[in-house]
Structure 1
């Protein structure tokens, strides 16, 4: 089978397509034929720069290694002791640094869940990481509740689009920031107010919010403390919280990690099945090296609206 591997870090040319043996499951493992995978910030940043400072030591990859986080696919083989899955099941989930591959080997205890077979597996390849990160920042750490005012930075991206929908599902009033070109999309997601970050200063337009969800960079995070009301919260997924500043202002700051339990994954799949949570696919790419390289280049160019996904087969 084909698999993407890295021998070093740098530009897109460090990615290599190699041939490896098909995985064989142990007693408590499953094999999934990959249908689709998401193009995600951790993979693009790690490929370019290596493991980042906020990455816990126990999950820092060691060269040579593959890439990839979330996936969708079909179970093709199960171990003798597997009871949670059957051959032919359609599944979505997470397999850390392991999804840029035609087949994925997983423990049956992993964060993987079945989805109805009538659902299109292509957008679901970009489901888990965006939803898990949005869930952590908005629900688990953000503790969004009905009636609260929530400001979401980077609301049109793969994570932000889901954060908007999750916050709205929780009953919050949502203010979303993005580019002028993304305003209509953010409103379509359910945002109550939108801010064009390129021409408008959110610090002059927003105040006394219950929660800020920062999905952009450190500068936006630094400017966001002032708009959170005392006793409120601020979460960030890619810039480290200034604990002293948060304490000084009487707010709770959390660096949010994108993970979900199996139960939480099943709950958000249920929202997706009901049409309360959507994955907007911005662009698809084939699982071949030129297309994968282009996917990374397009992601790095910024202005991402929805998800970019890599699809396997025709």
Structure 2
């Protein structure tokens, strides 16, 4: 089977193709033939420089390293102790052992779940990471309630677009920052108010925000403190918030990552099946070395409006 690995940190040119045997599975694992995966920010960050220095050395990538986290695919083999899956099941999930591979082996008890076989697995390859991160921000930690005011920065991106939909499903009034070109798409997702950050300073036109979801960081995050209610919450996927400013403004501010619980994934799948969540596909790339390299270049150059998907069948 084909794999795309990285040999060291650096540009997309550190990626290379290898051929290996299909993984053997243990009694508690399932073997999945990959259908789709997606490019996430963490993939390009790890490729360029690895995980932050605060992460223990033992958890840093070892070379050659297999990138990729979310996936969709079809179960082709099950271990003798597996009870939740059968050969032929369509599944999605997240793994931290890499997805740029034609086959992957994952534990039955890991972050993987069945989806109806009539769903298109291509967009589902980009559902796991962004939806789980948005879920944790909006539902898990954010605990959004009806009529609360939610501000989502970067609403047209992967996490932002999911956060808009989850917040609207919870009954919130949703404001998002984006460019004018994405206005129709964001309205379709349910955004109540769209602020074009290229022409308007959002901190001058909104106030009394209960929850901020920050996918941008930098000066955008700094300005967000000014529009929040006292005792409001801010969750950022872009950078660790300044705790001194959080105390100064009387708000909670945290860096956030994915909610890796199977029950969360089942809830997300239910919403997707009921058409209460959609995945916007920005572009589909073939599972080739050139395809992966191009997807990384495109992701870094942006804009990333929706998901960049790797198709193993293309």
TM-score interval, normalised by the smaller of the two chains: over 0.9
Deviation at 1:58, TM superposition (A): 6.2
Structure 2 residue aligned with 1:202: 202
* SS of residue paired to 2:37: strand
Deviation at 1:270, TM superposition (A): 0.2
- CA 1:159/1:87 → structure 2, altered by over 3 Å: closer, same or farther? same
**Matched-pair contact (CA < 8 Å) for 1:70–1:126:** yes
**Matched-pair contact (CA < 8 Å) for 2:25–2:31:** yes
Structure 2 residue aligned with 1:116: 116
**Matched-pair contact (CA < 8 Å) for 2:164–2:174:** yes
Structure 1 residue aligned with 2:98: 98
**Matched-pair contact (CA < 8 Å) for 1:156–1:178:** yes
Match runs of 1:120-199 below 5 Å: 120-199=120-199
Structure 2 residue aligned with 1:302: 302
Give the TM-score of the pair, scaled to structure 1.
0.97
The alignment covers a number of residue pairs equal to 314
Deviation at 1:294, TM superposition (A): 0.8
Moved more, 130-139 or 164-173: 130-139
Deviation at 1:141, TM superposition (A): 1.7
Structure 1 residue aligned with 2:39: 39
Matched, 1:313 2:313: yes
- Which whole-Å deviations, capped at 9, do the CAs of 1:281-308 have from their partners, x for residues lacking one? 1110000011111111111112111111
Moved more, 190-199 or 256-265: 256-265
Moved more, 219-228 or 100-109: 219-228
Cα distance in 2 for partners of 1:48, 1:60 equals 13
Cα distance in 1 for partners of 2:61, 2:25 equals 22
Structure 2 residue aligned with 1:220: 220
- Which whole-Å deviations, capped at 9, do the CAs of 1:240-299 have from their partners, x for residues lacking one? 111121112111112111133101100110000000000111110000011111111111
Gaps of 5+ in 2: none
**Matched-pair contact (CA < 8 Å) for 2:50–2:60:** no
RMSD: 1.3
Give the TM-score of the pair, scaled to structure 2.
0.97
Cα distance in 2 for partners of 1:62, 1:115 equals 32
Gaps of 5+ in 1: none
Cα distance in 2 for partners of 1:219, 1:140 equals 26
**Matched-pair contact (CA < 8 Å) for 1:35–1:72:** yes
Cα distance in 2 for partners of 1:30, 1:24 equals 10
Matched, 1:263 2:263: yes
Deviation at 1:217, TM superposition (A): 2.0
